[in-house]
């Protein structure tokens, strides 16, 4: 079946739990629209408001993605973006998405869910990941030449599965001052920072009653710390570490180099313009908030960041300082 | 397909669907199509409640 213009938006199983029964994919009609919103979900929410998508829903066995992949593999990804959250990763993806030559998939639920699914045999998962990445990275307007994928922060814990499926795709891990990241989550927690909301990754190896007795500062710090620890442990020859302080210049310097892409002068202007605005609220001008976050940090948050995140942050910095690419 | 996907309003889409159905011997009503839209919306919300 011809699938041009369709995009997978949700991975579901017909059993009672993830990996239980047969896997299906819900598709949405996107036509030639680009992924320009800061997150995949926002682009899809807009598309789902269209009369066509309100009337017609489309669910297919995941094997159909395999047939689609064989018939139309789409673009090979030029790079994967992992991050500790609240550290500039959306700025990177939005700068890349500013160019119509780039397809940028930012935290696509069906892809993250698949990568993190523990109950799928690894060989099967690798194949399904290739199908899903291919389906998301189809050319829609015809002028796309590059393809980038940004994953949800917790999905770095599924890095081995992703590397198995895409052993030669370069990847980066973005990180930032621990206190600044923790304060951001205490202001407005991401789902991964709320106990029990993201259940397909074991960010904290502790029983639920212990988890529920933790303070918000400790829980978030332990999750963030685990993400950083894992990225440092899994660093390999395709990976590269990027500190928030290197942005936005790193996008057209070290990240471009790592991803094997070269931007024209005109493209650089367009990407730099994006950096002038808030990546998650593109109508607002960007204002550096690192200092205000550090001033806001409570004693409890400072202690949690120092205990649970900073050792791993320091290790990331150590690895970055010894890497070949500046 | 292009006409269906580019319909700007429910009423425009429903008119197209009803006409295409009739060409194929299927009689549909606006009320039936409205009920499908409602059911789809309900199913979408329920999926979020029971992932």
| Alpha carbon A19 to its chain's center | 22
Tell me which of B1, B2, B5 to substitute to probe the interface with A (most A C-beta atoms closer than 10 Å): B5
Q: Residue range A192-209: average pLDDT?
A: 76
Average of per-residue pLDDT values in chain A: 91
d(CA A155, CA A209): 24
At A84 the three-state DSSP class reads coil
Domain holding A282, by residue range, is 75-321
Average of per-residue pLDDT values in chain B: 90
| Chain A residues near any Cβ of chain B (below 8 Å) | 5, 10, 12, 29, 31, 48, 50-52, 54-57
The answer to whether residue A30 is domain-embedded is: no
∠ CA A114-A118-A122, rounded to 5°: 80
The answer to whether residue A174 is domain-embedded is: yes
Number of domains in chain A: 1
d(CA A272, CA A288): 15
Q: Is the pLDDT of residue B49 over 70?
A: no
In this prediction, residue A136 has a pLDDT band, given cuts at 50, 70 and 90, of very high
The answer to whether residue A49 is domain-embedded is: no
Q: Residue range A238-247: average pLDDT?
A: 95
pLDDT tens for each residue of A245-281: 999 999 999 999 999 999 999 999 999 988 887 777 7
Where residue A275 sits, what CATH number does that domain have? 3.40.50.300
Which string of b and e fits A95-133 if b means at least 16 CB within 10 Å? bbbbbeebbbbbbbbbbbbbbbbeebeeeebbbbbbbbb
d(CA A251, CA A263): 10
* Chain B residue with the nearest C-alpha to that of A14: B51
pLDDT tens for each residue of A137-183: 999 888 999 999 999 999 999 999 999 999 999 999 999 999 999 99
Does the ipTM exceed 0.95? Answer: no
Whether B47 sits inside 8 A of A12 (CB atoms) is yes
Q: Is the pLDDT of residue B51 over 60?
A: no
Tell me which of A18, A32, A51, A56 to substitute to probe the interface with B (most B C-beta atoms closer than 10 Å): A51
pLDDT in the model for residue A281: 77
Q: CB of B9 within 8 Å of any CB in chain A?
A: yes
Domain holding B22, by residue range, is 2-49
Number of domains in chain B: 1
Chain B partners of A56 at a C-beta cutoff of 8 Å? 4
pLDDT in the model for residue A279: 72
């Amino acid at each position: 079946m011809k699938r041009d213009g369709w995009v997978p938006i949700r991975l579901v199983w017909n059993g009672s739990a993830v990996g239980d029964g047969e896997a299906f994919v819900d598709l949405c009609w996107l036509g030639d629209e680009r992924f320009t919103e800061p997150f995949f979900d926002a682009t899809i929410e807009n598309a789902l408001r269209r009369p066509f998508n309100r009337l017609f829903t489309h669910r297919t066995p995941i094997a159909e993605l395999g047939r689609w992949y064989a018939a139309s593999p789409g673009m090979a990804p030029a790079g994967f973006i992992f991050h500790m959250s609240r550290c500039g990763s959306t700025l990177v993806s939005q700068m890349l998405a500013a160019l119509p030559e780039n397809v940028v998939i930012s935290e696509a639920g069906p892809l993250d869910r698949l990568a993190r699914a523990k109950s799928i045999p690894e060989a099967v998962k690798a194949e399904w990941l290739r199908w899903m990445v291919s389906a998301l990275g189809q050319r829609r307007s015809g002028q796309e030449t590059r393809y980038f994928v940004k994953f949800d922060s917790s999905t770095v814990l599924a890095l081995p599965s992703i590397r198995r499926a895409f052993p030669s795709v370069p990847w980066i891990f973005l990180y930032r001052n621990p206190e600044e990241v923790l304060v951001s989550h205490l202001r407005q927690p991401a789902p991964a920072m709320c106990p029990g909301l993201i259940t397909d990754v074991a960010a904290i190896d502790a029983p639920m009653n212990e988890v529920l007795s933790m303070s918000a500062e400790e829980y978030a710090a332990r999750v963030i710390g685990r993400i950083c620890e894992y990225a440092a442990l899994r660093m390999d020859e395709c990976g590269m570490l990027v500190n928030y302080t290197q942005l936005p210049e790193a996008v057209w310097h070290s990240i471009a180099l790592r991803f094997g892409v070269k931007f024209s002068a005109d493209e650089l202007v367009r990407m730099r313009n994006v950096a002038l605005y808030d990546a998650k609220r593109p109508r607002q001008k960007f204002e550096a908030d690192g200092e205000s976050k550090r001033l806001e940090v409570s004693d409890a948050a400072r202690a949690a960041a120092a205990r649970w995140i900073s050792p791993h942050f320091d290790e990331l910095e150590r690895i970055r300082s010894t890497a070949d690419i500046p | 397909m292009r006409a269906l996907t580019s319909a700007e309003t429910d009423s425009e889409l429903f008119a197209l669907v009803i006409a295409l159905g009739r060409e194929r011997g299927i009689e549909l009503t606006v009320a039936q199509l409205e009920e499908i839209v409602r059911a789809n919306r309900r199913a979408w919300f329920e999926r979020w409640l029971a992932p």
